[in-house]
Chains A and B, each alone.
Chain A
Amino acid sequence: MITQSILNGLVLGGIYILVALGLTLILSIMGIVQLAHGEVYMLGAYAMYYLCVHAGLNFLLAILISAFLVGGLGVLLEKYFFRPFRGKMERALIISIGLILLLQNAVLVIAGGTPRAFASPFSGMISVLGVTLSLERLIVISVAFGLVLVLFFLIKMTKVGQAMVAISQDREVAALQGINIDRISSIAMFLGCAFAAVSGALVGALFSVSPFMGGFALMKGIAVIILGGMGSILGAVLGGLLLGLIDGVVPVYSTTHMAGLIGFGFIILILLFKPQGMLGREFE
């Protein structure tokens, strides 16, 4: 039972990491908490549903197109909704709350409130030594860690990544060095939203797709980046894994409520001793 519960926790950790990656990237580059990130994740799941079920596209191709479309939407959101309020955290927060309502209701009008589902091609089960896991859950873990590696590579090995690091450390100095803040912000938003779309697509295949699925993602995503440290990718990985393992293991030996209690208790404890989170830095 312990092995099964750890595996459950790793899957949950994978989901949390997928959501938190985009959120933390946007936070570190743009300095805003994008509260509508859950809705972007939901849009990714809906794009996937329409591409797979209605357009009949291959699952992997549909994920790529969905990531590209939602990433593109992110670029528009950055340009028209967030750029005018750069550096004004409160206004950006209000904008993102407005976006939650706008995107949720737009999907409600277009797709209705009935949950949707689409089949993943990874539908088999793997059973080893009494531990069972569906292939689609294994894919979630793999994609989560794969995307972490992609992001690390991007940040460490590319000019764009280094520009992101510079902006996240000091936006004004980065601008004085000739870094195009607008362009890098657009790229960050594109990547953040594309990551959310990928996680929405994978989680949508795992559970179901509904206009309100973003609330859970946002709550967990924010918890992960608070725990791991605002703006830290490694922090998001560590925070996601920790919360995932707590949510996966504790309910097996106690209750789901106890998992919530321990998870959030742990966050409070970390914040008491390290207010910027485990691997984070302070934001002005």
Chain B
Amino acid sequence: MNKIKLGFFVVLGFMFVITVSQNTYAQEAKTLKIGAVFALTGPAAAGIKDCMDGVQAAADWINKKGGITVKGQQYLIEVVPEDNKSAPDGIVAAANKLVYKDEVKFIVGPVVPGLSMAMTPITEKAKVLRCKVNGTGNKAEMKPGMLYTFSTFMEIQYVRSVYDYFVKSYPNAKKIAITGPDEPGGQAMVAVAKKEAEAHGLKVVFSELYPFGTQDFYPMLTKAMAQKPDVFDLGVGIAPWYAGIIKQARELGFTGPMFAPSATGNIYLIPMLAGKDFSYDIFFLDADLKSPKMPSIVKEARQQVSNKFGVDLTFGHGAGWESLWCLVQAIEAAQSLDTIKVAKVWEKMKSIETLYGEGTMSGLKDFGINHVVLKPRPLSRLEKGEIEFIKFISP
């Protein structure tokens, strides 16, 4: 009987210790709300919704590893998601809600440059630190005076390297057609691509911006094809737009190479939407994330996204993941939740981890402000409908 009593008290004691320790843990770990604003509806949603899922997966991954530690205080991330509806008024409403209702001090997103520009005045005024998922490099996207706006990459920094690769791989190509969506990011990319094409000895025979959300590219492509280009630069965009141009250009008889010095959001969608037969001789600054040549952290992210959402990791997931991860690294480096202090530390960081390797802070030369993460980017090729990793490139 005494042994039974003793056993009972030992079990009770254990339960007490576990309960107390859990309560202590719960009391110690605070919650840090981080806003996430992406296009979940509207014309940009098709390629961008993955970014939001990537942020959620990264938050779980960071929380599992103990969250964020600032001066010994542990913080678990709570993502506050908002849909920007692919429209400036949508993102302004989302930004106002996050800043003034939810009172977040940190935000990640969006992707589309024009939308980012629409929310910048709100976050800058409120001193809310924001990490855009990417950017193209329009001067209004990132410029001196934007103290609280950072970006995980800017496409224009990579255009030269992509053209270097192109002219080496296709020495016989002489005439190029350049296109992109008519929004600030697309405009910036086309302008930079034209300069780089000419600097690389290519003649720009066609250059046009198409309206945001276009599905039928036949009229634009008919005009482009009349100039008999050897190659198409597809500019910046999302997978459904690229797929539309590829399919329709091939239908109209274009058999040459096509490329974009930009990510697609989900490269796996392109052969699915354009058709495998048309998905050849194409390369993007995007990742075959299933390649064994990807860093081990990509495999962790794949596992995390697969566990949480039951889908394969895409570049879009990865881009969302990196935006939160870079922000978290900056907070930990600053050992502060004061956005002024975090911003000051972040812009001076010499090393920052990304999915594709070690990055550093850059942007002073291109944008007059050191707020852009410069990192290796994967270049991938589409051949016979299959995606294959080519190599990592750095500006």
A residues lining the B interface (CB < 8 Å): 1, 4-5, 8, 11-12, 15, 104, 108, 112-115, 117, 119, 123, 125, 127, 132, 134, 207-208, 210-213, 215-216, 247-253, 255-257, 259-260
B30 proximity list for chain A (CB < 8 A): none
Complexed CA–CA distance, A127 and B220 (Å): 19
Q: Are B273 and A259 in contact (CB under 8 A)?
A: no
B295 at the interface (CB under 8 A from A): no
CB<8 Å pairs between A and B, sample of 10? A1-B226, A4-B222, A115-B46, A117-B272, A119-B275, A132-B251, A208-B273, A252-B222, A256-B211, A256-B219
Q: Are B273 and A212 in contact (CB under 8 A)?
A: no
Task: Give the contacting residue for A207; candidates B41, B43, B182, B215; CB below 8 A.
Answer: B215
B184 at the interface (CB under 8 A from A): no
Known: A132-B252, A132-B253. A115 touches B41 (CB 8 A): no
Closest Cβ of chain B: how far from A261's Cβ, in Å? 12
Q: Are B49 and A114 in contact (CB under 8 A)?
A: yes
B266 proximity list for chain A (CB < 8 A): 114
Task: Please count how many residues in chain B sit with their CB below 8 Å of the partner chain's CB atoms.
Answer: 33
Q: Are B218 and A257 in contact (CB under 8 A)?
A: no
Complexed CA–CA distance, A15 and B216 (Å): 11
Closest Cβ of chain A: how far from B306's Cβ, in Å? 15
Q: Are A113 and B211 in contact (CB under 8 A)?
A: no
Nearest B-chain residue to A209, judged by Cβ = B273
Closest Cβ of chain A: how far from B85's Cβ, in Å? 10
B213 at the interface (CB under 8 A from A): yes
A8 proximity list for chain B (CB < 8 A): 216, 218-219, 222
Q: Are A113 and B219 in contact (CB under 8 A)?
A: no
B42 at the interface (CB under 8 A from A): yes
B196 at the interface (CB under 8 A from A): no
B192 at the interface (CB under 8 A from A): no
Q: Closest 6 A-B residue pairs measured CB to CB? A: A251-B219, A113-B49, A8-B218, A207-B215, A117-B273, A115-B46
Q: Are A255 and B208 in contact (CB under 8 A)?
A: yes
Complexed CA–CA distance, A134 and B213 (Å): 22
Q: Are A260 and B49 in contact (CB under 8 A)?
A: no
Nearest B-chain residue to A249, judged by Cβ = B219
B45 at the interface (CB under 8 A from A): yes
B213 proximity list for chain A (CB < 8 A): 216
Known: A113-B46, A256-B210. A104 touches B41 (CB 8 A): yes
Most chain A beta-carbon neighbours within 10 Å: one of B239, B244, B266, B273: B273
Most chain A beta-carbon neighbours within 10 Å: one of B222, B244, B251: B222
B301 at the interface (CB under 8 A from A): no
Complexed CA–CA distance, A256 and B214 (Å): 10
Encoded as 1 (CB less than 8 Å from any A CB) or 0, chain B from 16 to 56 comes to 00000000000000000000000011110110010000000
Closest Cβ of chain B: how far from A103's Cβ, in Å? 13
Task: Give the contacting residue for B222; candidates A5, A114, A125; CB below 8 A.
Answer: A5
Complexed CA–CA distance, A199 and B41 (Å): 22
A213 proximity list for chain B (CB < 8 A): 215
Complexed CA–CA distance, A4 and B252 (Å): 10
B186 at the interface (CB under 8 A from A): no
B273 proximity list for chain A (CB < 8 A): 115, 117, 208
Complexed CA–CA distance, A244 and B180 (Å): 23
B137 at the interface (CB under 8 A from A): no
A113 proximity list for chain B (CB < 8 A): 40-41, 45-46, 49
Q: Are A207 and B49 in contact (CB under 8 A)?
A: no
B220 proximity list for chain A (CB < 8 A): 251, 256
Q: A11-B216, A125-B253 are in contact. List 14 more A-B contacts (CB 8 A).
A: A4-B222, A5-B222, A113-B46, A115-B239, A115-B273, A117-B243, A117-B275, A208-B244, A208-B273, A210-B46, A212-B46, A247-B216, A248-B219, A256-B211
Encoded as 1 (CB less than 8 Å from any A CB) or 0, chain B from 319 to 338 comes to 00000000000000000000
B41 proximity list for chain A (CB < 8 A): 104, 108, 113, 211-212
B210 proximity list for chain A (CB < 8 A): 256
Closest Cβ of chain A: how far from B115's Cβ, in Å? 16
Nearest B-chain residue to A2, judged by Cβ = B222
A207 proximity list for chain B (CB < 8 A): 215-216, 244
Q: Are A12 and B46 in contact (CB under 8 A)?
A: no
Complexed CA–CA distance, A132 and B254 (Å): 11
A211 proximity list for chain B (CB < 8 A): 41, 45
Closest Cβ of chain A: how far from B182's Cβ, in Å? 7
Complexed CA–CA distance, A259 and B216 (Å): 13
Known: A115-B269, A119-B275. A212 touches B244 (CB 8 A): no
A259 proximity list for chain B (CB < 8 A): 219
Closest Cβ of chain A: how far from B288's Cβ, in Å? 18
Most chain B beta-carbon neighbours within 10 Å: one of A104, A213, A251, A259: A251
Most chain B beta-carbon neighbours within 10 Å: one of A112, A132, A259: A132
Complexed CA–CA distance, A117 and B226 (Å): 29
Q: Are A212 and B42 in contact (CB under 8 A)?
A: yes
A216 proximity list for chain B (CB < 8 A): 213, 215
Known: A1-B222, A113-B46, A257-B182. A125 touches B251 (CB 8 A): yes
